[in-house]
Amino acid sequence: MLALAAAANLALAQAPELPRLPEIRRDPQITYVDRSGAVIGVRGGRYAPPVDLGRLPAHVPAAFVAIEDRRFYEHNGVDARGIARALVVAVGEGKATQGASTITQQLARNLFLSQDRTLERKATEIAYALQLERTYSKKQILALYLSRVYFGSGAYGLEAAAQRYFNKPAAKLTVREAAILAGVLKSPTNYNPALETEAALARSKLVLDAMVETGAISPATRKKALAQTPRIWKTAPTAGAQYFIDWIDGQVRQTAGKVRQDVIVETTLDLPMEMAAADAARRTAAAHASARAEQAAVVAIDGQGRVRALVGGTDYARAPYNRAASAKRQAGSAWKPFVYLAALEAGLTPDAPVVDEPVTIAGWSPDNYTLTHLGPITLEQAAAQSVNTVAARLADEVGRQNVAATARRLGIVSAVNTDPAMALGTSLVTPLEMTAAYTAFANGGMRVQPYGIERIRTRSGVTLYQRKPQPPVAAVANPPLSDLNRMLRTAIASGTGARAKVPGYDLAGKTGTTSDYRDAWFCGYTGGLAACAWMGRDDNTPMGRITGGGAPAELWRGFMATALRRVPAQAIPAGPPVAPPPPPPVEAEPVLTPTAAETDLPPEPDPG
């Protein structure tokens, strides 16, 4: 004990003057919230907001004091008995192996020192702890400690940990949840609640025992807490939204300029819808993993262009590449509605007779999936059964440049090739732009510009940006729009999209499968909401016979079962009985020579 006192006094005399108690200094943060105000992510500074002990239930700080430093309110920054014990062990082993640090010492180390286990560093730590205690109150020290300590999984500070593991603010932590978080600090790796749940729960029992021993809670409260099984989020509750945030983050920084203070971005995202999309993508890809399904993406856009969900993959932590907004893939038969719309605008009707028979265009002869032909059918039947020969012939007859212009008029912004195979979806597009194009079918024929930012404001309420309402732009009129809706309703009711049915709703849509099963799609809509689901592999190798009418239709249905409860149920609107404005001029795209791998795009078999 005398040696300890001498070392502490010497360190105190030689230590540099203690700086003022530092604030949590960080770069300005951008907090993203969904359309209801729920936080979906934070970009910027490392730490969560500082802890306000006055707003926490008494059991929250008590849990940390009980397990980390039960004499915290009694000592002057150093627990002499604990350090003496640690020094005895250190002398015997030739190095420091035990901590026995008080909360004040831990804070001193966190603020000013390295994590090296040396006697010199330990002595300096003691000196700083003594100075901290002389200068600041216990409340200040504990608040800053809880604000900076690391809880694993990227969560710095109590507030971040409460949100990460329990999806709630620290002020709403239960006794058991507080005990779990307090137990993490011994080892954020070994007691990580999400990764080592059983170990974290077991350690929380030790924390509860310590809370009883220190009088923080009663034995009855401990018993009640142990009877509870809190929900621990294995992945961050807003993990799926990170793809959406990635999509708009650059737009925010470009719009708001250099962020010099914390700002809040109010977005169009519907978090429950986003979580449903992420869950459906993850579950469907896992269910079809044996068929080499690897990735999935989902986008949902409402009738005004607001992006309600955007999921760019099955696991953001492992694969953050945004397949929803950035990956350009062949659309397959999901492209055919643009062909049929061009034909309807040229004067055909759903009842128009067509013939499914062999066809050759510029030396190219597309096949049907079944390698058979149906003979005389209607245009509606051809769309519902995704007949390749009819779509190819129609595009050739109405003009592939006109089909390309129709797609662009609806919202396709990527380059559109005009070779004979374009009718079967060989152009490369993103799920985001395909969904935007289908939104014109869902909202009565109006082209939308998909967007995700409603307002950017400071925490004090000063508006930095407010989206202005955009005048509607008619892209499709009747009767072609109503006729196309009828044909795509049939595709779900009795065609290749039968697995996408959600009883009780007015739905329409189209399946899509590309050559060798590299890409599989289902794009569909109801009144006021469109959504596309894509599945494939990042290396663009084939999946195992996954068609748009199979796994993607299941994914779409799984997502829409939740999404449809989040929007008013409404029929698909017919749209205005007026002609849309002339299409924008179309620049001629280079004519590509189709190969068998690019053009032999089979339609999906009727899953019904």
**Residues annotated as part of the active site:** 68, 333
Give the count of beta carbons closer than 10 Å to the beta carbon of residue 55: 10
Q: Which one, of 175, 149, 150, 178, lies nearest residue 162 by Cα?
A: 178
Contacts 24+ apart (CB under 8 A), 567-572: 567/302, 567/526, 567/528, 567/529, 568/528, 569/504, 569/505, 569/526, 569/527, 570/506, 570/526, 570/527, 570/528, 571/506, 571/527, 572/441, 572/442, 572/485, 572/489, 572/506, 572/508, 572/525, 572/526, 572/527
- H helix and E strand count, the chain: 20, 16
Question: Which H or E element spans position 525?
Answer: strand 519-526
| Whole-number Å distance between alpha carbons of 22 and 135 | 12
Q: Is 9 exposed, middle or buried (CB count within 10 Å of its CB: 0-12, 13-18, 19+)?
A: middle
| Whole-number Å distance between alpha carbons of 181 and 204 | 8
DSSP-assigned beta bridge partners for residue 451: 306
Residue 508 φ/ψ, nearest 5 degrees: -145, 155
| Whole-number Å distance between alpha carbons of 443 and 452 | 18
Residues 496 and 306: beta-carbon distance below 8 Å = no
